[in-house]
Structure 1
């Protein structure tokens, strides 16, 4: 152990691991440590479970995986014999037959200590109690002569672990996190961190990972609060970064030297940036060469195309117009104009031969029957089949484009427009899709690879939405106005309100009952839908786990209007 120093230089490695790719994560940790050493850092801190990638879910139930993580940790420990920065890195840790979510302290060529997570989240998207054991009351680690508390993520969401660390002599809190993005989460994190600082009187370093992992997006946005509650450091959101902070020992304790604070994306900007990052990492981490999608001339596919170009670059995005007799010249022109603005490959493949072939094959069974949604769905399924064939032939992943409003009420065709490997809009309501289209035409994320300025023709945003599956069709033939539908769905899904409470907000009782019915009967479709980026508190997926077979329906009093 080196002698005590009146100041510590701490490298905060806000990085993007790949779940299960231990070799990549180890190499990335080594690279970051070398960079930290070049900047004379004493310590480098990595996010939660960095060597495994977060969240590893049931991967940690495989003994071979846990052993490989331990081996990587030991390899990294040997690197520290060089006298460079000590390492605090997250790793699944097997001890006495129990598996823990741990942070290992690596210094002087060996494992010099560890911290085990105490509070295991078991709500929403988290189910750590399924795979990890609860750690004992935490004790500080002595790092370069300083007594440092290392509570892990959820450990700061309740007072107990930090209080225990303070009582045991901790002078400074370094908190590795795997905290996924959702709206308002930055304010919640700050409130929680500020509460622990106020209670303990200790500076708190909040380091979060970034990157997409299946439906989750980790936004980074790491920060430092001093013991007086002031924000000393703010790191960027939605991109990798490494920041060196200097903590100085004063008569009043440790104090982090303030830096210029980075401005974070907020509201719609944050949602858009999250969707782009989630899409980019899903495609790249799963090693797809690019993506293909149907570009209909409508608002949803236009936004997905813009997100795809921002995420991957125009050369990796293939847009296909799949017209039928109901496709208007306006839609053809709008799709072509959008493709031109984005600079993507754009092909037109008429689907009439495929649809007519299906209808001919089914004619003996359907003889004498009226045409209905069955024939409409054949159009959607022909399009889905063609897109999947393009994917099979060229390797690009199909993007599906259904928004949360459509997914919520089943206004989508199973094995048709629901075909695809990923859906960037899955957790965005239709009204939010319009807002993001308008936003993208005057702003894009810093890391976006798409064009500056307009990316989506204005007419696509302003025209009446339609699936164009029959003559003169509009979405409002089947659905309430989207402003009404989205508010009702938000009340049912995110807020879990009763029908009576929703009607009391000013909605028509019959419409509310209809939306509830559509929401429940579409559960079987959603269970088969592509994953997509989570941006709300309650997404369709790991947040909302409703049974498919479900006889419950909320009811209204007979006199409800």
Structure 2
């Protein structure tokens, strides 16, 4: 009988929220988790991809001081590996090439090192900018069990898994930094089950949690046995540590208790909360300030901010003008009271009048148009930025993806700020998320959800005066942005030609605005940021 069929190995899966660039802090977190796992009787603990540097480190990988810092961190990891073996991810230079590596330390020495073979270079990923690809499998024997090392993208291909299986692996360890988008977890589980079914090997999938700029990582680590059964499902959206046993060739969870897997609106809402929380906290802002208009977008943004940071770190400001309805003022005040935030109202009328007075000679004889509407928004932006400068609170913008797609936003007005909570959330999803949040506790007045959306920049204005109905608009946008469908394909799918041509033109001509927008939480397959890079100046005609 082979060693692996008689060996027993207790393995800890460590799902951590690492801080990019904070190598000492990340190392300390790894050591703390390893000591806890050792106290719990584990013989091996597995961390996520590039755990030492944090993911994604981007051009920090080019800093000359990176290598000595990583080497010092690995010495510290080695020093604590006498009590428990440690599998961890890190960047390392070998033969003048930088690799995305996973290594296993035990008894103070490295048992082996694996270089990631499949380097993603699509959507938010550009690893080929930094790393060289590995070519070989690496199987480590620990207490009689042969562990095949893989890193993140490797698991989306068969070759790295097949190579590890051919090299004699009993268990596949997959170290991940897998960003969230809606529906991602089911894709992962289906994929791993396909591998376990084909190769008859269990897989441990260890993912990081937390937010990093626009990316959010949901954790949701899991383990699947050789029979393609998910034996462990870890928590979503928080740090977690759990244990599995590999015993007599079988993988099982140490405990029968399992986390309920989170899907749909709950997962989407938590992604927004985590993204805002980690951006604010990791950048050491004391809190956030936002404009609370009485509309649906700012209402949902306020709920996200409070759930992320607590009411004591959130400040809401109503900035009414002539066209602001009494309903909006009432609803904003009601929500602020319900959520327990500091709230005030500052009219923009005096400053608007002063601007118009100063501009009167230049505007004489010209018709009122969007200039006057944009000036209202910019007055509000000035107020919020002044409060931000004085208090240190970051301005949280409230615009959604539908608006950002078609340019229904004002540069240096409602776009002014440091982070966009709803930047990658379509308007129809904003309504659904508001209903979801109210199902937890009623904090958004129902009237805010039910009333027709309006920027209230002109008398009796509603969004559908200048845009298709949001269900129509969002379907066109999703097809054009997420799925790269052409205008003709979208028309063939059943949309009105005039609507389609107008919408895709608006998307194309407003790239200049999106380039100047703050970053925000990415929750779809293709957000406005790292994974959609179109030239501002171009002669492309979408309808051709």
| TM-score interval (norm. to shorter) | over 0.9
Partner of 2:208: 209
| Aligned residue among 396, 404, 423 for 1:426 | 423
CA 1:64 to 1:328, structure 2 compared with 1: closer, same or farther past 3 Å? same
- C-alpha deviation, 1:258, in angstroms: 6.8
Separation of aligned partners in 2, 1:426 and 1:256: 39
Q: Is this contact kept in 2: 1:202–1:254, CA < 8 A?
A: no
- C-alpha deviation, 1:319, in angstroms: 0.2
Listed as ranges, the gaps of 5+ residues in structure 1 are 444-452, 557-561
Separation of aligned partners in 1, 2:93 and 2:139: 20
CA 1:379 to 1:147, structure 2 compared with 1: closer, same or farther past 3 Å? same
- C-alpha deviation, 1:544, in angstroms: 1.2
Q: Is this contact kept in 1: 2:182–2:524, CA < 8 A?
A: yes
Q: Is this contact kept in 1: 2:104–2:113, CA < 8 A?
A: yes
Per the alignment, in what secondary structure is the counterpart of residue 362 of structure 1? helix
Q: Is this contact kept in 2: 1:291–1:397, CA < 8 A?
A: yes
The one-character-per-residue Cα deviations of 1:493-515 (angstroms, maximum 9, x if unpaired) are: 11211222212222211111110
- C-alpha deviation, 1:6, in angstroms: 2.4
Separation of aligned partners in 2, 1:46 and 1:354: 54
Matched, 1:549 2:537: yes
TM-score, structure 1 as length reference: 0.94
- C-alpha deviation, 1:120, in angstroms: 0.6
The one-character-per-residue Cα deviations of 1:196-226 (angstroms, maximum 9, x if unpaired) are: 2122211110010001011111001111110
The one-character-per-residue Cα deviations of 1:325-377 (angstroms, maximum 9, x if unpaired) are: 11111110010001011110001111112111211221222222122110111
Q: Is this contact kept in 2: 1:70–1:92, CA < 8 A?
A: no
Q: Is this contact kept in 1: 2:47–2:87, CA < 8 A?
A: yes
Separation of aligned partners in 1, 2:534 and 2:462: 30
Partner of 1:120: 119
The one-character-per-residue Cα deviations of 1:500-555 (angstroms, maximum 9, x if unpaired) are: 22122222111111101111111000011111111111111112111111211232
Q: Pairwise mapping of residues 106-185 of structure 1 onto structure 2 (< 5 A)?
A: 106-185=105-184
Listed as ranges, the gaps of 5+ residues in structure 2 are none
Separation of aligned partners in 1, 2:343 and 2:361: 37
Partner of 1:288: 285
Per the alignment, in what secondary structure is the counterpart of residue 316 of structure 2? strand
Partner of 1:56: 57
Q: Is this contact kept in 1: 2:231–2:252, CA < 8 A?
A: no
- C-alpha deviation, 1:433, in angstroms: 0.3
Per the alignment, in what secondary structure is the counterpart of residue 70 of structure 1? helix
Per the alignment, in what secondary structure is the counterpart of residue 273 of structure 2? helix
Q: Is this contact kept in 1: 2:473–2:503, CA < 8 A?
A: yes
Per the alignment, in what secondary structure is the counterpart of residue 124 of structure 2? coil
Q: Is this contact kept in 2: 1:203–1:256, CA < 8 A?
A: no
TM-score, structure 2 as length reference: 0.97
Separation of aligned partners in 2, 1:123 and 1:71: 32
Matched, 1:33 2:34: yes
Q: Is this contact kept in 1: 2:336–2:342, CA < 8 A?
A: yes
Partner of 2:470: 482
Separation of aligned partners in 1, 2:254 and 2:21: 36
Partner of 1:499: 487
Q: Pairwise mapping of residues 430-509 of structure 1 onto structure 2 (< 5 A)?
A: 430-443=427-440, 453-509=441-497
Partner of 1:379: 376
Partner of 1:195: 194
- C-alpha deviation, 1:257, in angstroms: 5.6
Q: Is this contact kept in 2: 1:232–1:258, CA < 8 A?
A: no
Separation of aligned partners in 1, 2:66 and 2:362: 53
Separation of aligned partners in 2, 1:499 and 1:266: 32
Matched, 1:308 2:305: yes
Separation of aligned partners in 2, 1:247 and 1:512: 55
Separation of aligned partners in 1, 2:113 and 2:256: 30
Q: How many residues align?
A: 542
Separation of aligned partners in 1, 2:285 and 2:354: 32
- C-alpha deviation, 1:3, in angstroms: 12
Separation of aligned partners in 1, 2:542 and 2:345: 46
Per the alignment, in what secondary structure is the counterpart of residue 397 of structure 2? coil
Separation of aligned partners in 1, 2:72 and 2:113: 15
Aligned-residue CA RMSD in angstroms?
1.6
Q: Pairwise mapping of residues 355-370 of structure 1 onto structure 2 (< 5 A)?
A: 355-370=352-367
CA 1:5 to 1:420, structure 2 compared with 1: closer, same or farther past 3 Å? farther
Partner of 1:23: 24
Per the alignment, in what secondary structure is the counterpart of residue 163 of structure 1? helix
Q: Pairwise mapping of residues 27-106 of structure 1 onto structure 2 (< 5 A)?
A: 27-80=28-81, 83-106=82-105
Separation of aligned partners in 2, 1:487 and 1:195: 32
CA 1:3 to 1:521, structure 2 compared with 1: closer, same or farther past 3 Å? closer
Per the alignment, in what secondary structure is the counterpart of residue 442 of structure 1? helix
Separation of aligned partners in 1, 2:4 and 2:534: 57
| Aligned residue among 468, 484, 502 for 1:514 | 502
Partner of 2:321: 324
Separation of aligned partners in 2, 1:272 and 1:30: 32
Partner of 2:402: 405
